[in-house]
Amino acid sequence: MKHSSLRLWLLLLLGGLAWTACDKTTAEPPDNPFDSIVFPEPPLTAAAPDSASLVGLHEYIFSQSCAVPGCHDGNFEPDFRTVQSSYNSLVYQPVIKNTNDEAFSWRVTPGNAETSWLYYRVTTSDQILGRMPLYDNKLSNSQLKAIKTWIETGAPDLFGNPANLPNTQPRITSIAAFIDFGGLSYRVDTIRDGALSPFATLANRDMTIWIGVNDDSTLLSELANTRLLFSDKWDGFSNATAMNMSYQSTPFVVPDYSAPGQAAEFHWKVTFNTGQFPVNELTFMRFLTNDGAHAEDYEFPDDPHPLEYKLFMSFFIVP
């Protein structure tokens, strides 16, 4: 067979195969596995979430009960924009605005509603602090029961997983200040015009500041870069005077000023002369330390803390 005839024969053969492959008139369509399913009438609808679950609390309470529009939409914590942001800003999250005796550690303490700041805020009768939602009717008994049930059952997340205690930042628990006067030691951090106000001390005296700290995972002796900063501005510490604090293995125990009738235990101290600070002017202090588990230092009070905490961590010197 000549080459030209062979080429013509191959072209005709391939053309016929292509036409046959594209011809859909004779092929049977494949079976549809869904043809045999009988769907109910009316269609299935999603069940309403359990009111005592995280999803239910978000849908029925968190997302719609705030009395001030925009308050918990990410501008302030807790962040109630989504189920997950609600969980992340509530469970095992440290309390910033607290009672005078610092009675609460977490916004939600899984398993214990009575030590959960969230439950306290929606049930308190404290007129100064204010019950949440502010300026609005209180939550119903059934809503309060739902919040309490969720907390008491371990504050499970969106998928029902129980909460795990995180490795949190250290936390300052108390402060005490003493000055040397004629060879005797006098406590001065109790000389205040109100619980959350500066304390008074004397000029040109050696003063020792004691700081009480606790941490959930790190031994206090292993805290690093523990220091006290001093500034003439409550939120400007970029040019502050920094003093390293020393760890004392034997705790120093004195009455707790912020919790009358209780004792406070201190392991960190720094001693300095008050003569380096101006008389009759406020000096603000900021405590810093690092537990080795966080890149950033723990600071108290940091910039977001209310002014009253910054005033509590301040002193003025009288001649």
Q: What is the mean pLDDT of each run of 10 residues along the chain (319 residues)?
A: 47 44 57 65 64 89 64 64 88 85 88 94 84 77 94 91 85 93 92 90 96 91 96 92 97 85 92 96 97 94 90 94
Residue with tokens 């004195």: 254
The 10 Å Cβ neighbour count of residue 191 is 14
Residue 201: which of 212, 213, 192 has the closest Cα? 192
C-alpha dihedral (245, 247, 252, 255), degrees to nearest 10: 50
Q: What token pair was written down for 38?
A: 């009988």
Question: What pLDDT does 64 receive?
Answer: 74
| Burial 220-233, CB ≥16 within 10 A → b, else e | beebeebbbbbbee
C-alpha span between 265 and 148 (Å, rounded): 33
Question: What pLDDT does 297 receive?
Answer: 96
CA angle 236–238–239, rounded 5-degree value = 100
Question: What pLDDT does 3 receive?
Answer: 47
Question: What pLDDT does 282 receive?
Answer: 96
Question: What pLDDT does 73 receive?
Answer: 52
Q: Is 0.85 topped by the overall pTM?
A: no
C-alpha span between 305 and 109 (Å, rounded): 21
Counting every residue written for the chain, the total comes to 319
171-318, CATH topology level? Immunoglobulin-like (2.60.40)
Cβ–Cβ < 8 Å for 162, 156: yes
C-alpha span between 195 and 217 (Å, rounded): 30
Phi, psi of 300 (to 5 degrees): -145, 130
Delimit the CATH 2.60.40 region(s) of the chain. Answer: 171-318
Question: What pLDDT does 256 receive?
Answer: 85
- CB-based contacts of 255: which residues, under 8 Å, 6+ apart? 261, 262, 263, 264
Question: What pLDDT does 196 receive?
Answer: 82
